[in-house]
């Protein structure tokens, strides 16, 4: 009888504790997830920005080279 | 059937010939200089109808009368030096001027501060285009450089009568007589430094600089001009030889429109 009583008390205490710990862990998971997600979101535009910048500088270099070669061709065939 | 194929082929060839002919820029001449801006390109809508409009409406046009300008000697300017050396160029008669095109592997150019701008071509005008102390000189030479962004910097050198110039004679001797012809296989070596004023300090040239334009149609602006304060010389006989190719191929001085000229004199 005493054993059953103790078991009941232990169980009744352990369930909220477990539930609480589970809530905690699930909260932290969400937070981590959110943090990761937000980090990922934060990282994404930066990565896109970097990629854009790389593309921009590449395309501006290319367009610069295009402009240079176009101008060179023009000035070799015209008085300029 | 055969006739139809031949007719088809002829019409395709004719159409492509016409489209090439139509896409060529319209003809211009120095006689009609005042009307360059109004020259029309047939078959094009406005504004492409007037490909040389900038010649008429531009506000930073070249050449100018350097005597009219407010010359500023206050700011420290970029050091200007030439790194031309020798090349085996092509000699090209453009139909408007005699021109020397550098070879494709030529690495010489004009150094403005730390940037080296490759030299693409040089050509001659008779008389000078810029006016010096309010007067034209017998001729003017333009070294045309183009940087990585397609921007043009021109080094202008006034030509006066004096000592014979051997490098200039090489150009005259190898220049084709006919308009549009190029002599690109001569293999003749030309020392481009020898075209600069005798006694020039190539490592630190004295110059005037201003924003301007091409002096021929389409008169595009955004050209930075560097005009040497010293002139080079050719003999009177060499000037006559130059005139036998092209004479009066110089645009008249344009309005400064409040531009100031900087100098490191």
Q: Decide if B214 touches A, using CB distance below 8 A.
A: yes
pLDDT of residue A73: 95
Q: Which among B55, B87, B121 is the top mutation candidate for probing chain A, defined by the most A β-carbons within 10 Å of its own β-carbon?
A: B121
Contact B150 A70 (CB under 8 A): yes
Which residues of chain A make contact with B156, given a CB cutoff of 8 A? none
pLDDT of residue B205: 98
Contact B149 A80 (CB under 8 A): no
pTM of the shown model: 0.77
Q: Where are the alpha helices (DSSP H) in chain B?
A: 2-23, 53-57, 166-174, 236-245
Summarize pLDDT for B155-207 with one digit per residue, the tens.
999 999 999 999 999 999 999 999 999 999 989 999 999 999 999 999 999 99
Q: What is the DSSP letter of B132?
A: B
- B244 is written with which tokens? 């036998």
pLDDT of residue A60: 63
Summarize pLDDT for B88-135 with one digit per residue, the tens.
999 999 999 999 999 999 999 999 999 999 999 999 999 999 999 889
For residue A41, what are the CA distances in angstroms to A27, A44, A55?
20, 5, 21
Read off the pLDDT band of B9 (50, 70, 90).
very low
**Strands B152-161 vs B232-234: parallel, antiparallel or unpaired:** parallel
Summarize pLDDT for A12-29 with one digit per residue, the tens.
444 333 333 333 333 332
Highest mean pLDDT (candidates A63-77, B41-55, B65-79) = B41-55
pLDDT of residue A27: 30
Q: Name the burial class of residue B140, with classes exposed (0-12), middle (13-18) and buried (19+) by CB atoms within 10 angstroms of its CB.
A: buried
Question: Between A and B, how many CB-CB pairs are < 8 A?
Answer: 46
Chain A nearest-CA residue for B100:
A76
- Mean pLDDT for B218-243 is 98
Contact A64, B108 (CB under 8 A): no
Contact B214, A71 (CB under 8 A): no
The complex scores an ipTM of: 0.84
């Amino acid at each position: 009888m005493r054993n059953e009583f103790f078991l009941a008390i232990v169980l009744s205490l352990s369930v909220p504790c477990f539930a609480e710990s589970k809530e905690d862990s699930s909260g932290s998971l969400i937070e981590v997830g959110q943090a990761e997600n937000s980090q990922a979101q934060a990282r994404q535009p930066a990565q896109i920005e970097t990629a854009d910048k790389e593309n921009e500088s590449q395309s501006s270099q290319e367009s610069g080279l295009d402009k240079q070669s176009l101008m060179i061709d023009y000035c070799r065939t015209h008085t300029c | 059937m055969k006739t139809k194929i031949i007719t088809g082929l002829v019409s395709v060839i004719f159409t492509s010939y016409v489209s090439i002919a139509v896409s060529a820029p319209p003809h211009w001449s120095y006689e009609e200089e005042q009307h360059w801006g109004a020259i029309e390109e047939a078959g094009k809508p406005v504004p492409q109808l007037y490909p040389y409009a900038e010649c008429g409406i531009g506000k930073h046009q070249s050449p100018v009368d350097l005597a009219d300008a407010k010359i500023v000697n206050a700011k420290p300017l970029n050091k200007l030096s030439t790194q031309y050396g020798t090349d085996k160029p092509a000699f090209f008669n453009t139909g408007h001027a005699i021109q020397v095109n550098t070879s494709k592997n030529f690495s010489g150019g004009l150094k403005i501060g730390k940037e080296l701008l490759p030299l693409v071509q040089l050509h001659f005008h008779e008389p000078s285009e810029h006016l010096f102390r309010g007067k034209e000189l017998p001729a003017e030479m333009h070294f045309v450089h183009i940087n990585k962004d397609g921007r043009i910097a021109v080094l202008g050198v006034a030509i006066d009568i004096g000592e014979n110039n051997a490098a200039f004679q090489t150009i005259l001797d190898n220049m084709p007589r006919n308009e549009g012809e190029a002599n690109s296989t001569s293999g003749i070596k030309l020392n481009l430094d020898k075209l600069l004023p005798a006694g020039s300090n190539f490592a630190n040239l004295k110059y005037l600089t201003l924003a301007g334009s091409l002096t021929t149609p389409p008169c595009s602006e955004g050209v930075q001009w560097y005009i040497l304060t010293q002139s080079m010389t050719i003999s009177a006989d060499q000037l006559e030889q130059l005139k036998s190719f092209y004479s009066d191929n110089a645009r008249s001085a344009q309005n400064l429109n409040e531009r100031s000229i900087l100098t490191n004199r």
